């Protein structure tokens, strides 16, 4: 009775039969079991009746079984696929592109072959079915995907699936060399204005630290090296030494800017995301936004707004040739020492791309531990959805030490949470601390530009 129940489930495809292989697996369909039962019945009849017709029919069924298995195995084995990631780094709202090249290396055509992709990048549609792929034919295509979510995502691996003309066997072959990765940076808003940081350090003297940036403070000269800009050449020394001499510079006496981001798990709030919608609806929403070239709509989460604010503020100050550092406690302690230029922006975006609100350290404790290391006249930008008066007390003490403090409050109430944001803003402004309040759906360029 148990055997008959199992057989019925197999025939009804309730329990597919899999055979693991070295680089994949083979799935035996219900048609195979029907044909196998027919072969057993015909073979028994052949031996009982000794009729040639039953023997020939038995040989025919067995030949079809062997032919189908060999065909499916050959189809999936004689197939190559190359994957090339055109954009290993992208940004939310921008397009990530990959290029694929398939090659039928066999001598027989592929009736059908399925390419199944196991990438983690949302809405990355690589999977497809190729029909009637002739022998030794190459075919390529590109896949462009609008990035919806920041993070580091695995691309691949790809599984190649092929079967026989009778649908008896389906072979799966996993291509291990088709695994790559893509990093999606958070989106940044081009700020036109923001609260000004501290001016110069006490004494106004240049920092005794060499820099590859061109400043007004010349530290000395050296011989020209490949890659040096021509506007660094010191022509008088070049004429005197009869070889190219370039100037070296020191950093301007500008105070460093530190961005502290609150990534405590319990302080965050979030509404339903667009990613929680059905796939077709979410895809239509993002495609419409991309087609109309509108500003990327951030997910309704204090975490995502905080990361975007940190990235946008850092970009604003770095464009002003200021040195920007970062501190945040998410999955781990993330510290980026202050530096300038485009390379520093890329470094900050890379950290923010994978930073998650999984921290357990309160924002007040973060400020206490990290702000103690800041020197006088530095500028501290605090970004948090928390309205806890404890961290406000800490920034007051920090301000008394001679640091300039700028507060950006992400109103958790507008994200479905609860927070006394207005009271916190009143306390901060009463202490002479510039304060911005950001709510869900706000135009960040307008809010931070006031």
Q: What is the pLDDT of residues 177-215, one digit of tens each?
A: 889 999 999 999 999 999 988 644 444 444 444 444 445
pTM score of the predicted model: 0.80
> Quick one: 333 and 437 in the same domain?
yes
Write out the residue range of the structural domain in which residue 303 sits.
257-448
**435: its two tokens:** 């304060």
Contact 384, 267 (CB under 8 A): yes
**Strand ranges (E), 272-394:** 324-329, 333-339, 379-384
> Quick one: 335 and 370 in the same domain?
yes
Residue 198 lies in a domain: no
pLDDT score recorded for residue 24: 76
CATH assignment of the domain containing 382: 3.40.50.410
Backbone angles phi, psi at 382, to 5 degrees: -100, 120
Residue 92 lies in a domain: yes
> Quick one: 51 and 71 in the same domain?
yes
> Quick one: 218 and 349 in the same domain?
no
CATH assignment of the domain containing 59: 2.60.40.3880
Residue 433 lies in a domain: yes
> Quick one: 287 and 172 in the same domain?
no
Q: Which residues pair with 82 in a beta bridge?
A: 101
**234: its two tokens:** 């010191």
pLDDT score recorded for residue 218: 57
Among 250, 277, 307, residue at a domain's last position: 250
Contact 150, 186 (CB under 8 A): yes
The angle subtended at Cα 20 by Cα 138 and Cα 137, nearest 5°, is 5
Residues of the chain with pLDDT under 50: 10-11, 13-15, 199-214, 216, 274-281, 284-294
Residue 205 lies in a domain: no
Among 219, 250, 281, residue at a domain's last position: 250
Residue 197 lies in a domain: no
> Quick one: 35 and 108 in the same domain?
yes
**Strand ranges (E), 344-411:** 379-384, 404-410
What lies within 8 Å, CB to CB, of 309 at 6+ separation is: 383, 408, 410, 438, 444, 448
- DSSP-assigned letter for residue 301: B
> Quick one: 238 and 370 in the same domain?
no
> Quick one: 144 and 99 in the same domain?
yes
Domain count, the chain: 3
Among 147, 170, 185, residue at a domain's last position: 185
> Quick one: 81 and 114 in the same domain?
yes
Between the two ends of the chain, the Cα-to-Cα distance in Å is 78
> Quick one: 40 and 106 in the same domain?
yes
**427: its two tokens:** 């306390």
């Amino acid at each position: 009775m148990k055997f008959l129940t199992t057989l019925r489930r197999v025939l009804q495809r309730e329990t597919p039969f899999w055979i693991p292989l070295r680089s994949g697996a083979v799935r035996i369909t219900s048609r195979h079991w029907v044909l196998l039962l027919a072969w057993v019945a015909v073979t028994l009849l052949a031996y009982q009746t000794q009729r040639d017709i039953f023997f020939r029919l038995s040989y025919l069924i067995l030949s079809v079984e062997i032919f189908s298995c060999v065909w499916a195995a050959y189809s999936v084995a004689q197939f190559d696929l190359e994957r090339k990631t055109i954009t290993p780094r992208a940004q939310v709202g921008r397009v990530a592109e990959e290029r694929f090249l398939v090659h039928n290396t066999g001598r027989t055509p592929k009736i059908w072959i399925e390419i199944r992709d196991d990438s983690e990048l949302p809405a990355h549609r690589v999977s497809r079915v190729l029909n009637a792929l002739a022998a030794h034919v190459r075919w390529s295509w590109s896949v462009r995907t609008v990035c919806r979510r920041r993070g580091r995502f695995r691309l691949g691996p790809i599984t190649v699936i092929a079967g026989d003309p009778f649908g008896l066997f389906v072979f799966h072959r996993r291509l291990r060399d088709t695994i790559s990765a893509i990093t999606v940076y958070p989106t940044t808003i081009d700020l036109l204005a923001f609260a000004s940081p501290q001016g110069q350090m006490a004494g106004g003297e240049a920092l005794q630290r060499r820099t590859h940036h061109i400043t007004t403070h010349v530290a000395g000269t050296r011989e020209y090296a490949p890659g040096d800009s021509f506007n660094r050449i010191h022509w008088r020394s070049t004429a005197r030494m009869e070889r190219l001499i370039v100037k070296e510079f020191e950093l301007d006496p500008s105070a460093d800017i530190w961005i502290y981001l609150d990534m405590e798990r319990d302080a965050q709030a979030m509404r339903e995301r667009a990613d929680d919608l059905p796939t077709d609806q979410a895809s239509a929403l993002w495609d419409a936004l991309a087609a109309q070239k509108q500003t990327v709509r951030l997910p309704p989460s204090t975490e995502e707004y905080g990361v975007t604010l940190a990235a946008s503020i850092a970009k604003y100050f770095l464009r002003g040739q200021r040195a920007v550092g970062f501190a945040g406690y998410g999955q781990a302690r993330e510290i980026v020492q202050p530096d300038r230029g485009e390379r520093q922006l890329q470094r900050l975006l890379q950290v923010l791309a994978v930073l998650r609100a999984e921290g357990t350290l309160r924002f007040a404790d973060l400020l206490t531990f990290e702000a103690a290391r800041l020197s006088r006249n530095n500028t501290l930008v605090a970004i948090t959805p928390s309205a806890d008066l404890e961290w406000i007390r800490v920034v007051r003490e920090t301000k008394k030490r001679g640091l300039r403090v700028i507060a950006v409050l992400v109103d958790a109430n507008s994200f479905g949470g609860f927070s006394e944001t207005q009271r916190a803003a009143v306390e901060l402004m009463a202490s002479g601390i510039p304060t911005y309040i950001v709510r869900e759906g706000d135009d960040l360029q307008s809010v931070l530009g006031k």
